[in-house]
Structure 1
């Protein structure tokens, strides 16, 4: 019995000290993959914008004097021709009276000169006096006539200056800040205007495009000239300062003639209707431009990884090995990137778990159904 027990113990020890040479290897991880598809999509770009009324007029005095009356308040809406300021008119009415008196004196002098010519004419004809006296009388008459014309011009000037004492609205619009109050001395040389009048039934919204964005913008629309292309540009949206979207859409109608040498950007103008006056000159916001992309490759943002200012995806190749591939992004639509190059339609990419992948790693791909988000976007 003892030898048999010894042999059995030795066999057990030998088996424990010599494990099987072929160990079972770990199975590759199962990760969801999708097939890259192409489709039509739209991306949006936003640009800071400033808003101005279609007409912005500085109201300035054209004569000097004391501001006697202010007929309007800040923010009031006025119509063209409506009085808004009154300058003390007494000095200008006095100047008009003096000019009228000078005109009357000139008219009297002309009448005297006419009488002298009529008196001397028969005397010269009868050779009672020399024609020299008649010539002198006629010259005096012409001088008196010229004096009348000068006096009339002075009267007209005095009337104009008197009219300038009542300052009227040149256009329809809203009154801005009143820089001068009643009793202030105003002159045409004042640095600040009395106020600014803004017509905002329609507003111009100005924004700038960089050179690259401008090239992309032009390539979006058909037409031989820039004006032809502008006719094809769809309506644009305006985002207000609080992030809300303005109820009406605008139309891009003008592009500046040259780039700004300092900023390297070109100014673009869009016009918006503003019937309720919700927008005012000086407002700011953002213009939202839509860009259409045909046959764009669509990749979920969650299937990408950013490294060293580049964006990568993991493609699945032969033998289910993954490869890290850099891609070029041309835009974003929701949770999806629009890809220019780096991959092609039909490629398989890993959707999740990419933070644990390494180049050449083998996975067990699990294809996702065609109803996922990226496929839905591709049909837009």
Structure 2
């Protein structure tokens, strides 16, 4: 009896498993979710401003180092540090007493030389009629003329020394050679300055307008020239190439400048050519030594490519866009980015006209998966054609 009960239970369990298996075979699998819907734009070639971005340093348009031209002791500083000064304005006073005494001594030497010259002239005037009457010899007359010429030379030399002494005395008042912003004084009252050592007293800089120096690699210059020659890049005028500045905090400097110098030689050490731009600086916002980024508008590319900023994922390795290929399968495409113009990235490499990129719905898609194209909207996006409805 116990054996029969055990067999009955086993048969009952097998029957239950069979019924569950049959029930599972009869159920339908859930339908697959539809592909995510995305918005796309179709890339097209269009004229794009060729903007070159380069790091640069601000430089004063004129710089003058004010140095001592005589030896002496500084008596007073006659200007306020960090303020604007005008050309010819007195900056320092050096003790003039020693140089004034030297001038007086040389003026006395000049007076003595002039007296000797007057006496020599009188001798010549007396000897001339005596020579005609043969009262004196020709040799005595010639000696008198020679003394006169020597005395006149002594007068000329003394006059030159007087002029030099006057100049040295004038240098005791140190004046500004140019107008501009005066820097910090490098000496204080009581300091001994030297003309031979050229003691630096202060520096004056003109910063309105102001220069920005930067450099361009020789390979980039060669590429630009090649594009100009082939017609891919249009550069109407080399004389007024516009430049804008990005400051250290990321803001844009409000006034545009222009290129005013391009070195025709390549630096052998760096492989770059020097460029310089001039900017108006009425508010003194740009200061010498400041780091900036220059954006040079070097012509227009006739067949450039731009994509909306939101379509590009930017990482330290570069930019990536999602390209919709055949059968609406998505592909992740790395691209080489240029500068950001408005709300669009300039793409230098990686995309071709006619390709479709995703601009909306990026968070819902994966590379290699299909997508569903949303219907076209009325407003077309800049830099691309409006998408066409998907066909099945």
C-alpha separation between the residues in 1 aligned to 2:269 and 2:320?
Answer: 35
Deviation at 1:63, TM superposition (A): 0.7
C-alpha separation between the residues in 2 aligned to 1:240 and 1:132?
Answer: 85
Deviation at 1:194, TM superposition (A): 0.3
Q: Deviations along 1:139-164, whole A, 9 cap, x unmatched?
A: 11111111111111111111111111
C-alpha separation between the residues in 1 aligned to 2:32 and 2:101?
Answer: 109
Are 1:34 and 1:368, in contact at CA under 8 Å, matched by a contact in 2? no
Q: Which residue of 1 aligns with 2:86?
A: 79
C-alpha separation between the residues in 1 aligned to 2:124 and 2:114?
Answer: 15
Q: Does 1:194 align with 2:201?
A: yes
Within the candidate set 353, 356, 365, 2:372 is matched to 365
C-alpha separation between the residues in 1 aligned to 2:174 and 2:316?
Answer: 64
SS of 1:50's equivalent? strand
Are 1:100 and 1:155, in contact at CA under 8 Å, matched by a contact in 2? yes
Call closer, same or farther: CA 1:57–1:364 in 2, change over 3 Å: closer
Are 1:31 and 1:350, in contact at CA under 8 Å, matched by a contact in 2? no
Call closer, same or farther: CA 1:263–1:32 in 2, change over 3 Å: same
Q: Does 1:281 align with 2:294?
A: no
Deviation at 1:94, TM superposition (A): 1.1
Q: Does 1:127 align with 2:127?
A: no
Q: Which residue of 1 aligns with 2:305?
A: 297
C-alpha separation between the residues in 2 aligned to 1:259 and 1:265?
Answer: 5
Write the mapping of 1:1-380 to structure 2, written as runs, cut at 5 A. Answer: 13=19, 16=22, 19=25, 26=32, 29-38=35-44, 39-42=46-49, 45-190=52-197, 193-215=200-222, 219=228, 220-222=233-235, 228-231=237-240, 233-234=241-242, 236-290=243-297, 292-300=300-308, 303=311, 309=317, 313-323=321-331, 325-333=333-341, 336-351=344-359, 352-353=361-362, 357-359=366-368, 361=369, 363-367=370-374, 369-370=376-377, 375-378=381-384
Return 5+ residue gaps in structure 1 as ranges: 1-5
Q: Deviations along 1:26-75, whole A, 9 cap, x unmatched?
A: 35623415242324445755433322332210111111101112111201
Call closer, same or farther: CA 1:41–1:122 in 2, change over 3 Å: closer
Are 1:31 and 1:353, in contact at CA under 8 Å, matched by a contact in 2? no
Are 2:318 and 2:337, in contact at CA under 8 Å, matched by a contact in 1? no
Q: How many residues align?
A: 363
Call closer, same or farther: CA 1:181–1:148 in 2, change over 3 Å: same
Return 175-184 or 76-85, whichever deviates more: 76-85
Call closer, same or farther: CA 1:368–1:147 in 2, change over 3 Å: farther
Are 2:43 and 2:305, in contact at CA under 8 Å, matched by a contact in 1? yes
C-alpha separation between the residues in 2 aligned to 1:366 and 1:355?
Answer: 13
Deviation at 1:165, TM superposition (A): 0.9
Call closer, same or farther: CA 1:325–1:229 in 2, change over 3 Å: same
SS of 2:143's equivalent? helix
Return 337-346 or 179-188, whichever deviates more: 337-346
C-alpha separation between the residues in 1 aligned to 2:188 and 2:249?
Answer: 34
Deviation at 1:213, TM superposition (A): 4.4
Return 292-301 or 179-188, whichever deviates more: 292-301
Call closer, same or farther: CA 1:368–1:144 in 2, change over 3 Å: farther
Q: Which residue of 1 aligns with 2:389?
A: none
Deviation at 1:378, TM superposition (A): 4.4
Are 1:312 and 1:324, in contact at CA under 8 Å, matched by a contact in 2? yes
Call closer, same or farther: CA 1:221–1:269 in 2, change over 3 Å: farther
Call closer, same or farther: CA 1:357–1:308 in 2, change over 3 Å: farther
Q: Deviations along 1:334-354, whole A, 9 cap, x unmatched?
A: 564333454433323345458
Return 5+ residue gaps in structure 2 as ranges: 1-11, 386-392
C-alpha separation between the residues in 2 aligned to 1:21 and 1:264?
Answer: 74
Deviation at 1:199, TM superposition (A): 2.2
RMSD of equivalent CA atoms: 3.6
Call closer, same or farther: CA 1:338–1:239 in 2, change over 3 Å: closer
Deviation at 1:290, TM superposition (A): 4.0
Are 2:61 and 2:209, in contact at CA under 8 Å, matched by a contact in 1? yes
C-alpha separation between the residues in 1 aligned to 2:253 and 2:131?
Answer: 88
